[in-house]
Amino acid sequence: MNEPKYKRALLKLSGEALMGDRQYGIDPQRLKHYSGELKSAMEMGVQIGIVIGGGNIYRGVSNSSTNIDKVAGDHMGMLATLINALALQSALEHSGVVTRLMSAIRMEVIAEPFIRRRAVRHLEKNRIVIFGAGIGNPYFTTDTAAALRAVEIEADVIIKGTRVDGIYDSDPEHNPSAFKFQEISYFDVLKKDLRIMDMTAITLCRENKLPILVFNMNTPGNLKRLLHGEPVGTKVLELSSPIVKQQ
């Protein structure tokens, strides 16, 4: 089989992606599916880092809580990402994949502290590295954490796994006439307010010329095809020509 197009990638997963069809929490079958996809990608020789959100857990808390200020809520969200990271780590290791969990908040009992050089060394040893607790500060999303970690580890691409097969001009789950972009610029993502990632994350990727690929992580084999360079999902990059619509 051909060599992968990308040798080092940062995968961003939302916490909600782990819910499956549940209202909150973690679906074991979804974990099993993701671990299988990641194992296949790693066996291609791709070095993989992962940033995962915590919305599946924190949303359940926030729906039943009041009077939580922004900083406290963000800290709760950071802890939720570590719960998800531990679950994903366990699923990967049950699949025979060697992993390391690194946290932006020091808690050595369950995770290594994030140190860039150490993270890169783990990747070079073909370990999947999961980055938890965002960047360790309130007011920054896990999208921004993903962009920052991708730049720090010198990833070739940041890939965002979603439940739709790319970026559309409107929600394809509610608008059957929505059209899909094959490629789109960072500028147009912001101008059209497409909200695939927050403004800080998009800007950071643009400044560092880091392409973003948005794809459906739930389709079996999609991750492997994407890393081989097949036209899966939508690519966000600096374009000198007009945006390209999917035919």
Q: Print pLDDT tens along the chain (247 aa).
A: 578 999 999 999 999 999 988 888 999 999 999 999 999 999 999 999 999 999 999 876 665 566 788 899 999 999 999 999 999 999 999 999 999 999 999 999 999 999 999 999 999 999 999 999 999 999 999 999 999 999 999 999 999 999 889 999 988 888 989 999 999 999 999 999 998 999 999 999 999 999 999 999 999 999 999 999 999 999 999 976 545 555 5
Q: Where are the beta strands (DSSP E) in 21-153?
A: 47-52, 99-103, 112-113, 128-132
Q: Which helix (H) or strand (E) holds 224?
A: helix 222-227
Q: What pTM, to 2 d.p., does this model score?
A: 0.92
Decide: 212 and 205 in contact? Cβ < 8 Å: yes
Question: Domains in the chain, ordered, with CATH?
Answer: 8-245 (3.40.1160.10)
How far apart CA 198 and CA 196 sit, in angstroms, is: 7
How far apart CA 227 and CA 45 sit, in angstroms, is: 10
Would you state the structure tokens that stand for residue 19, as one six-digit string?
Answer: 């819910």
DSSP bridge pairs for 181: 167, 245
